[in-house]
Structure formats: structure tokens, C-alpha cells
Amino acid sequence: MDIASVIGLILGIGIVIGLMGHKITLFWSLHAVVVVVGGLLGSTFLKFSMSDIMSAGKILKKALFADHEDIKELIRQMVDISNIARKNGLLALEKVKVENEFLQAALQHCSDGVDPKLMKEILTKEIEYMAERHHTGVVMWESMGEAAPAFGMVGTLIGMVELLANMSDPSSIGPAMSTALLATMYGAFLANAIIIPMGIKLHHYSMEEQMKCSMIVDGVIGIQTGLNTRMLEQVLKTCLSRYKRDD
């Protein structure tokens, strides 16, 4: 589990619930929940296909729960692989097993003797397709972040209509006004405490994955062309900020 996400959710939800105090039941409205959540889901299913929705869910699960490989550790791994190739030849890479699926596929191409130019084209195309898949997930969460407050306003308008339609009954004014305000609150909370931050998290995760894959391409091409191990390490470290390179 991504620790930053856990802290963010606990702080966001915990602070709001804490401010509600012992009167938390006052902030519950089933009608408001139905309008906001139902409208949000309905608009999402209209905008995207079922396969896109399922894929976005898998990407979110991977971004939040998967163990993210440290890029510095990945560089060290690439350097070790370079030493193996220089010592035992490229065919020895066929026996190298790594957890990173993209790196494993690149090493397989390398040991199979695929032309460096062709291999770079294949792997680059795979990165582009991965970026497109991630982009769909990010856009989906961004659209949900826009829809949640909008349906909160819909709930508010419904509550106001009920209020104005029953002005002659003072006992109905309070519940109608409560539904109106709570719908806005639910929409704003869902959008700004959960949905939009998740979309931004997915965007950062996608950019990180693309950077790692691009680094792997450069590394494997360097290994295949016989680039000096020390020079290879320097090339790979260019993806790090300067203060991290010598750390």
C-alpha cells in the first residue's frame, strides 16, 4: 500500500469526521448520496466503455497497492546485468530473471539477437501504448472529479425545489434544506478529498513508469552495443536529480 495515499485518506476523511463531532448523524442524507454517487457513476458509464472502466480500476490498484520499484535500485540492477553481459556474453542474459516485466522482455529481445534499432522501436511503441492506457484512466478520474461537484449542485437544486414547494409546511423546510446543503458537501468532498487526488496520483505513477521504461530501453541498448559499464551507469543516472546521483 502506498503510505502517502494512506496518510492522505486518513487526514482528509479523519479531519472532516472529526469536525462533525458527536453530531455525525446530522450529516447523513440518503437522498443526497443517491443523487451524487448515482449521478457520478451514471455519467462515468456513459463517457467510457466497460473495458476502460475495468482497466482504470486495475491501474489504480497497481498504483496504490503494488510495491514501487526504486529507480536507483533499478539502475544498480541494470549495471549488474551489464557486468554479466560483458563477462559471459549476451546469450547469458537469457538466464537472468528479474521482477520488472518490461526489463525481462527487453533482456529476452537482447539475448535473441534482435537488432538494436528494431528493438528500440518495439519497446518505444510499447511505452507509447502503455501511456495511452494510463491516459484513459487519468482522464476518467479527472472527469469524475468534475462530475461530483456538478451532481452535488443537482442535489442542491432538488432540495431547494422541495423546500419552495412546501413552504406552507414549516416541518418540511429543515429536511429539504439539509438535503440541499449535504448534496453540495458530498460532491465537494468526494471530488477534492478523493477523486481528484487519485487522478493526480495516477498521472504521477504513469509518468514514473514511462521514465523507468525509457531508462530500461537506453540501458539495454547500451548493454547490447557494448557500452562501458561505468559510462552506462552515468547515462542511466541522468534520469535522477543531481543531488540523488551521488547519494
- Residue 69 in this model has a pLDDT that exceeds 90: no
Supply the range of the domain harboring residue 41.
Answer: 3-245
Q: Find the range with the poorest average confidence among 21-25, 88-92, 193-197.
A: 21-25
Q: Find the range with the poorest average confidence among 21-25, 62-66, 179-183, 214-218.
A: 62-66
- Residue 21 in this model has a pLDDT that exceeds 80: no
Q: Could you tell me which residue, 104 or 173, shows the higher pLDDT?
A: 104
Q: Find the range with the poorest average confidence among 30-34, 61-65, 79-83, 123-127.
A: 61-65
Question: What does the pLDDT read at residue 178?
Answer: 81
pLDDT band at 35; cut points 50, 70, 90: very high
Q: Find the range with the poorest average confidence among 74-83, 106-115, 238-247.
A: 238-247
Question: What does the pLDDT read at residue 1?
Answer: 63
pLDDT band at 246; cut points 50, 70, 90: low
- Residue 247 in this model has a pLDDT that exceeds 70: no
Closest CA to 152 of 187, 195, 177: 187
pTM, entire model: 0.81
Mean pLDDT of the chain, nearest integer: 87
Number of domains in the chain: 1
Looking at the chain, the whole-number percentage of residues with pLDDT higher than 90 is 39
Question: What does the pLDDT read at residue 161?
Answer: 86
Question: What does the pLDDT read at residue 55?
Answer: 79
- Residue 40 in this model has a pLDDT that exceeds 90: yes
Question: What does the pLDDT read at residue 28?
Answer: 87
pLDDT digits (tens, 9 = 90+) for 149-190: 999 999 999 888 888 887 777 777 777 788 888 999 999 999
Question: What does the pLDDT read at residue 150?
Answer: 94
Question: What does the pLDDT read at residue 191?
Answer: 93
Question: What does the pLDDT read at residue 158?
Answer: 87
Question: What does the pLDDT read at residue 133?
Answer: 86
